[in-house]
Chain A
Amino acid sequence: DIVMTQSPLSLPVTPGEPASISCRSSQSLLHSNGFTYVDWYLQKPGQSPQLLIYLGSNRASGVPDRFSVSGSGTDFTLKISRVEAEDVGIYYCMQALQTPLTFGGGTRVEIK
């Protein structure tokens, strides 16, 4: 199985400030078709996870452009340019390169 490792575990943030979450995979998520099979989800308190980013760096429908992803291969960083109160929750990265699909352990983002 591909192991997904996220850091930090918890991230206190100040509204208006940037934030970064790291995700590392135990093997490259770059497919031979040129796509990178890593996705990002946000699980807001009491809700189901919602898709933020797919195929490496593509924002899902309705996701603000303050969310972006950098990195390639095995190392990825989700960046929030200016955190807003509605961004609190647990962020998960997930690899979709091969089954079983696996998730990172999650990063809890909370307002200071």
Chain B
Amino acid sequence: QVQLQESGPGQVKPAETLSLTCTVSGGSVSDGSFSWTWIRQPPGKGLEWIGYIYNSRTTDYNPSLRSRVTISADRSKNQISLRLSSVTAADTAVYYCARGPPALGEFDYWGQGTLVTVSS
């Protein structure tokens, strides 16, 4: 059974960098059969696609965040990481990692999400 677990600081100061990790169990981030995606949800609002990584190196990002976001993979730890720089209050959200197909498509497994609040 595939499981995804997000982790990281629950609070980040404005202008700093948000860093989260998604630990994958029951599967491998190196598996070329899947991509790994970050999605966020501001409190009480809808879902926003942040970006994905495939084959541990191919990435694509939402243009609205591209200048500030980096998604990477650590094969040795079987983890996917998200870094979002220069955060503001608008970046306050629950951040989810999810598994998808190698090309664009549906997300069949999601983590439970982690709330990150941007506040001084």
Contacts and interface: CB of A to CB of B under 8 A. Distances in A.
B113 A48 contact: yes
| Interface of chain A: mostly helix, strand, loop or mixed | loop
A54 B111 contact: no
Contacts of B107: 39, 41, 49, 51
B96 interface: yes
Interface residues of A, number: 26
B27 to A, nearest CB: 15
A106 B47 CA distance: 9
B63 to A, nearest CB: 6
A51 B47 contact: no
A96 interface: yes
Contacts of B67: none
B46 A105 contact: yes
B48 A103 contact: yes
Interface residues of B, number: 18
A45 interface: no
Contact of A54 (B48, B62, B106, B113): B106
Given A48-B96, A106-B46, A100 B106 contact: no
Contacts of B111: 48
B37 to A, nearest CB: 8
Interface of A: 1, 37, 39, 41, 47-51, 54-55, 60-61, 92, 94, 96-106
Given A49-B107, A51-B108, 9 more contacts: A37-B105, A39-B105, A41-B107, A49-B96, A49-B110, A54-B108, A55-B106, A60-B108, A103-B46
21 contacts: A39-B105, A39-B107, A47-B112, A48-B111, A48-B112, A49-B47, A49-B96, A49-B110, A51-B107, A55-B105, A61-B108, A94-B47, A96-B106, A97-B104, A98-B104, A100-B62, A100-B63, A101-B49, A103-B48, A103-B49, A106-B46
